[in-house]
């Protein structure tokens, strides 16, 4: 080894020892008679010290020629620092250099390799190998490593077996777009990269591997954002001879283990919430329950406290729904105008916003012209409002207005400081609809995927054609308003799986062509089974307190799905296209 210690290792108990360190130059401070050099590696920083009259002239001359990010080897004696630095682990010591050697010089980096850098995201992605030298990024990847290690520890202790599944598979029509790979040996035919190992893990259950898991790469050709990448990692799991409660208990145990081992946090009770409840009171199938602010209907299926006052905005709407923001009655007109502009944004699409201030001297609203004190008092009772609160109200069609109000609720949660990333609230959402209807395509789609089982008590509804009432035997795990995992009990009988394909519009021939291998497998003794997949990158970003998953992936893509460092994707050479029997029509 070129080095005797790392740059994060030396302490006061090493004083007097002769050591050899290697690393990158973080910074140099030349004070004439003294030179200090901060030497960095992935373990930390150690200060090197050279002094006129005590260090060799050769070492001093070389030290003055060094630049940022030079790779060097330094030999010397560990001494106690006079001016200690409590911001770094090695801050009690420094190394008095006797010899220094340049292992490799470096060009001036295009941005500062510091915790707080001057490099924008595009520049840092182009030089990602330099960005990875920064402590925050390095710590993010260390966190990812720790989470992976603890996942494997928990599942290994629970008798799961890690099994790799193929990366070159068959394209399927359901779900997101596939990435496809041409086959040179089978001209005109293509593999697909897996969106998940769904059918393979079910086949493993048929094979008798009753507890499977895999930290697996998945690929989806979809539009990107901060928490999406075209390639991502799942903690993919499946179990046999189980019911929904067994799955929830097993993987609630995993998430408890991870929070305790990685964050040192006991997450406490993990409540269950039905999909219907989540949509009615939060307008989202992944509600953030760090704060309450649930929806209150002033007009809808169960209530009507707005009609008969000739206010067309409410009269023309099927639903009038709002939230009560505790302690926000002093919001100014300017602040409320900002909120109105917020909900009118095209991404949200509300036409306007009604407010009611609950103040010590009474109720004041933007609709005082139509609703008097007695009507507003009824609203306040419905909201359980108290003096000091602010009621914010939207109107429109039920599902649409709930989605709009969800965005407003989250915005108010942020404004009121109720969404602390270090306050973790975990819960399950269960009883999703099995199917959703597309008006555009005039057919039913699987809300999760075609292999999700209906609730046993709802199978007769499915056979009777009451498809909108059928609930899925499915579940999602939500942390702070982010879906980190989801799964279902699977269909394991050929007859029910064939019925599901028929409901989804597959002909018998299409179902056999796409999934015949799975239907055939079900005829050879398939056990009842179910599973769950966690979004591993997303889980890591939550543990790290970040909204973006990119810093937890060593070499991520940008919003256009490009790796700007290696300039990928890129055109193929004409000879390659010819060999693959592909013609590019651009």
Q: What angle do CA 2, 7, 11 make, to 5 degrees?
A: 115
CB 240 within 8 A of CB 234: no
Sort strands 426-430 and 482-489 into parallel, antiparallel or unpaired. unpaired
Cα(475)–Cα(566) distance, rounded to whole angstroms? 39
Backbone angles phi, psi at 111, to 5 degrees: -150, 160
Asked whether the beta carbons of 481 and 287 are under 8 A apart, the reply is yes
Kindly provide the b/e burial profile for residues 509-521, where b requires at least 16 CB atoms within 10 angstroms of the residue's own CB: eebeebbeebbeb
Q: Can you say which residues are annotated as belonging to the binding site for ATP?
A: 220-222, 229, 483, 535-538
Q: How far apart are CA 108 and CA 130, in angstroms?
A: 11
Helix/strand/coil (H, E, C) string of 8-43? CCCCHHHCCCEEEEEEEEEEEEECCCEEEEEEEECC
What is the pairing mode between strands 474-479 and 354-359?
unpaired
Which residues, listed in sequence order, are joined to residue 445 by a DSSP beta bridge?
436
Phi/psi zone of residue 386: left (φ > 0), alpha (ψ -120 to 50 degrees), beta?
beta
> Torsion angle, CA of 424/430/435/438, rounded to 10 degrees?
-30
Q: Which of 433, 515, 552, 471 is nearest to 139 (CA)?
A: 552
Spatial contact of 235 and 534, defined as CB atoms under 8 Å apart: yes
123: nearest Cα among 138, 135, 112: 112
Residue ranges for the binding site?
174, 220-222, 229, 448, 483, 490, 535-538
Main-chain phi, psi angles of 316, to 5 degrees: -80, -10
Q: Binding site for L-aspartate: what residues are annotated?
A: 174, 220, 448, 490
Instruction: Decide if 470 contacts 463 (C-beta within 8 A).
Output: no
Of 263, 170, 112, 176, the C-alpha closest to 445 is 176
Site of tokens 């796409």? 514
Residue pair 156/223 in contact by the 8 Å Cβ criterion: no
Per DSSP, helices labelled H in 324-394 are 333-344, 373-383
Half-sphere exposure for 502 (CA within 13 Å, toward CB):
10
DSSP state of 505: T
Side-chain half-sphere CA neighbours of 293 within 13 A: 31
For residue 532, the cross-strand partners are 237, 487
SS (H, E, C) 470-503: CEECEEEEEECCEEEEEEEEECCCHHHHHHHHHH
Parallel/antiparallel/unpaired status of strands 93-104 and 44-51: parallel
């Amino acid at each position: 080894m070129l080095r005797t210690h790392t740059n994060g290792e030396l302490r006061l108990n090493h004083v007097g020892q002769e050591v050899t360190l290697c690393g990158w130059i973080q910074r140099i401070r030349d004070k004439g008679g003294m030179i200090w050099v901060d030497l960095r590696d992935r373990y930390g920083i150690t200060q090197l010290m050279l002094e006129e009259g005590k260090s060799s002239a050769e070492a001093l001359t070389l030290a003055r020629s060094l630049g940022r990010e030079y790779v060097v080897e330094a030999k010397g004696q560990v001494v106690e620092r006079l001016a200690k630095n409590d911001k770094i682990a090695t801050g009690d010591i420094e190394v008095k250099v006797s010899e220094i050697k340049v292992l490799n010089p470096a060009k001036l980096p295009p941005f500062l390799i510091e915790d707080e850098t001057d490099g924008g995201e595009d520049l840092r992605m182009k030089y990602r190998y330099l960005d990875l030298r920064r402590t925050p990024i390095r710590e993010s990847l260390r966190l990812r490593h720790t989470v992976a290690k603890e996942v494997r520890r928990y599942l290994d202790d629970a008798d799961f077996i890690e099994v790799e599944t193929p990366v070159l598979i068959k394209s399927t029509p359901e779900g997101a777009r596939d990435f496809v790979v041409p086959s040179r040996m089978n001209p005109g035919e293509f593999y697909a990269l897996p969106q998940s190992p769904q059918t393979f893990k079910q086949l493993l259950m048929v094979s008798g591997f009753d507890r499977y898991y895999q930290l697996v790469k998945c690929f989806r050709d979809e539009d990107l954002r901060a928490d999406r990448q075209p390639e991502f990692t799942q903690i993919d799991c499946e179990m046999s001879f189980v019911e929904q409660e067994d799955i929830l208990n097993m993987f609630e145990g995993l998430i408890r283990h991870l929070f305790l081992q990685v964050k040192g946090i006991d997450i406490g009770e993990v409540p269950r919430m039905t999909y219907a409840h989540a949509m009615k009171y939060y307008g989202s199938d992944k509600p953030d329950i760090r704060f309450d602010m649930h929806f209150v209907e002033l007009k809808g299926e169960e209530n009507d406290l707005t009609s008969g006052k000739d206010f067309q905005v409410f009269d023309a709407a099927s639903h009038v729904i709002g939230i009560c923001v505790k302690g926000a009655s002093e919001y100014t007109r300017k602040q409320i105008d900002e909120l109105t502009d917020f909900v009118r944004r095209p991404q949200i699409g509300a036409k306007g916003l009604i407010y009611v201030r609950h103040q010590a001297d009474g109720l004041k609203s933007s609709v005082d012209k139509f609703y008097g004190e007695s009507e507003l008092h009824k609203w306040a009772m419905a909201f359980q409002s108290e003096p000091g609160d602010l009621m914010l109200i939207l109107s429109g069609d039920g599902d649409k207005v709930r989605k709009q109000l969800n965005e407003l609720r989250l915005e108010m949660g942020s404004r009121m400081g109720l969404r602390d990333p270090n306050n973790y609230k975990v819960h399950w959402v269960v009883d999703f609809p099995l199917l959703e209807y597309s008006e555009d395509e005039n057919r039913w789609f699987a809300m999760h995927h075609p292999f999700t089982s209906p609730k046993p008590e709802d199978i007769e509804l499915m056979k009777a054609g009451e498809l909108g009432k059928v609930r899925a035997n499915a579940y999602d795990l939500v942390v702070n308003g982010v879906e980190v995992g989801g799964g279902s009990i699977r269909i394991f009988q050929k007859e029910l799986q064939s019925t599901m394909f028929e409901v989804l519009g597959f002909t018998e021939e299409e179902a056999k062509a796409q999934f015949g291998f799975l239907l055939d497998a079900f005829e050879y003794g398939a056990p009842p089974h179910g599973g769950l997949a966690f979004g591993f990158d997303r889980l890591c970003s939550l543990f790290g307190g970040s909204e973006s998953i990119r810093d937890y992936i060593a070499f991520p893509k940008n919003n256009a799905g490009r790796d700007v460092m290696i300039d990928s994707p890129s055109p193929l050479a004409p000879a390659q296209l010819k060999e693959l029997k592909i013609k590019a029509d651009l």
